Amino acid sequence: MLTVLRNRTYRHLFTAQVVALIGTGLATVALSLLAYSIAGNNASAVLGTALAIKMIAYVTVAPVAGVLAGRVPPRTLMVGMDLTRAAVALALPFVDQVWQIYVLIFLLQAASAAFTPTFQATIPDVLPAERDYTQALSMSRMAYDFESLFSPALAALLLSVVSYNWLFAGTTAGFLASATLVVSAVLPGPKPVERGGGLYRKAAFGTRLFRATPRLRALLALDLAVAATGAIVFVDTVNVVRDHFHRPAGAVSLALGAYGVGSMLAAVLLPRLLARVSDRSVMLPAAFALPCVLAAAAAITAAPAGTGTWFALLASWALVGAAGSAVLTPGGRVIRRSAADPDLPAAFAAQFSLSHGCWLLTYPLAGWLAAGAGLPATAVVLGALALVAAVTATTLWPARDPDTLSHLHTDLPVGHPHLADAHPAGGGAWQHGHHYVIDQHHPTWPRHRPALG
């Protein structure tokens, strides 16, 4: 897997991603302490609102960022967003009002909503070979999991010698280092996009792409399955560990670490697996595993607490991490084969926005259900939602899903360049086949026709 790091451009981009993620992880810890110093007992409410603001920024800003990525060189856009994030992190230690936290968090997450899809859309150009790109997706998944394990430990180490405000300095340094690494990478310029229309129409294209492409509709359903299952891990683990198992605060990190380890192991194994089987054959079974694990979690949290059930919970969280990684990691491959190269920024921006919309639904659901109905009921409800999402994805994603599709054109004039290899099909229609994606010449998905050739 590490062979992709021989590519200098990708090596710099991947390192930029890692240091920016670590900086973000430090900011997460520091923000919790900042909220407590300002709001005291209301710190959890402040953090909950900040998390909602984060998701709102992701959902609303990412599609607009996809339009910018088609006009602004990727390096310029990513460096600009890194510098914006560094400036916000530098300002956070000086706030003394809750509303100031909310404003700065929105700016920080809006910049992330522009940076991340641009980064994702750039990697296919840097690593055009399918094998290399698959390895890069696994590396990216591992970077997120590594950050979730490493950043809290690093924050704890730093807090033993400095105050929490200095963690924001570490965040600033991480974003500045990321910007420096991006500047040093040689990246392609923006590809010309032929779509017309105003800003709204261009920003909405990515969403229309998902709506019109069967496998992308299925991908969105799979994102919902992961969000339904992951929400109970991220929102309710602290209550499961502290209130049900009556274990110390350090055990919360252990439970979340089990999730991260499971995700990392799956990411390591996926490149070899995806070299042998299709994305669909990996992602759908993994999605169906998620509600099964939550059914086990419901039984575990309904049973008396003990050593056996504690280790069963750790195993369950590791399985959630592994299955979630198996669903999420190949998603970039699915998007890549479903969009033309100039439309990749819009496609990744739409996926970023829509997938975080799923989390915006499941985060509060996991919290409200746990508070009102208890942990076993929460696991049952979210497991049912994950099961419905998995079944929906299976229905939407055809078992036979070739790239090359035969289709008709009835709205292009004779002699149009796109019809160079087409033949008359009667009634003024022309038929041909090629790698089919939604674009200006193909606004809808064709009815099933045998692939030509």
Q: Are residues 234 and 380 in the same domain?
A: yes
Question: Number of folded domains in the chain?
Answer: 2
Dihedral, 310, 311, 314, 316 alpha carbons, nearest 10? -100
For residue 232, CA distances in Å to 92, 359, 364, 436 come to 29, 11, 10, 38
Q: Can you read off the two tokens belonging to residue 201?
A: 């129409």
pLDDT for residue 200? 52
User: Minimal CA–CA distance to 240: which of 356, 360, 358, 320?
Assistant: 320
Range list of H helices, 70-198? 74-91, 98-126, 130-159, 165-184
**CA 445 – CA 406 distance, rounded (Å):** 11
307 inside domain = yes
Give the model's pLDDT for residue 452: 45
Distance between CA atoms of residues 112 and 85, nearest Å: 8
pLDDT at 41: 67
Starting at the edge strand found earlier in the chain, the sheet holding 404-409 runs 404-409, 429-435, 423-426
Which phi and psi (to 5°) does residue 431 adopt?
Answer: -120, 140
The helix (H) or strand (E) run that includes residue 410 is none
Q: Are residues 215 and 250 in the same domain?
A: yes
Kindly state whether residues 110 and 219 are assigned to the same domain. Answer: no
Structure tokens at 227: 């969000």
Of 401, 418, 447, the residue at which a domain comes to its end is 401
Same domain, 136 and 247: no
- pLDDT (tens digit, 0 to 9) for every residue of the chain, 453 residues total? 567 888 899 999 999 989 998 888 888 778 877 877 887 767 656 766 777 788 888 888 877 776 676 677 888 889 999 999 999 999 988 988 888 888 998 999 899 888 888 888 888 888 888 888 888 888 888 888 787 777 777 877 888 788 888 888 989 999 999 999 999 887 766 665 555 554 455 567 888 889 999 999 999 999 999 999 998 888 888 888 888 898 887 788 788 888 888 998 999 999 999 999 999 999 999 999 999 999 999 999 999 989 999 999 999 999 999 999 999 999 999 999 998 888 888 888 888 889 989 998 888 888 888 888 889 999 999 999 999 999 999 999 999 888 888 888 888 888 888 888 888 888 888 899 888 888 888 888 887 554 444
* Paired sense of beta strands 429-435 and 423-426, if any: antiparallel
Residue 117 tokens read as: 């899809």
The answer as to whether 417 is a domain residue is no
Which two three-digit tokens encode residue 14?
């991947």
Residues ≥6 apart with Cβ < 8 Å to 349 = 62, 63, 65, 66, 69, 117, 121, 206
pLDDT of residue 335: 92
Torsion angles phi and psi, residue 405, rounded to 5: -125, 135
Q: What is the pTM of this model?
A: 0.84
In this structure, the answer to whether residues 170 and 45 fall within a common structural domain is: yes
Q: Which two tokens stand for residue 88?
A: 């916000």
Whichever domain contains 301, its CATH number is 1.20.1250.20
Would 439 be classed as within a structural domain? no
Residue 164: other Cβ atoms inside 10 A: 19
Instruction: Single out the residue in 190, 219, 254 at which a domain terminates.
Output: 190
Does residue 448 belong to any structural domain of this protein?
no
User: Does residue 408 belong to any structural domain of this protein?
Assistant: no
Q: Is 312 exposed, middle or buried (0-12, 13-18, 19+ CB in 10 A)?
A: middle
Domain that holds residue 184: 1-190
Last residue of a domain, one of 169, 190, 211: 190
Query: Which helix or strand (DSSP H or E) is residue 46 part of?
Result: helix 43-69
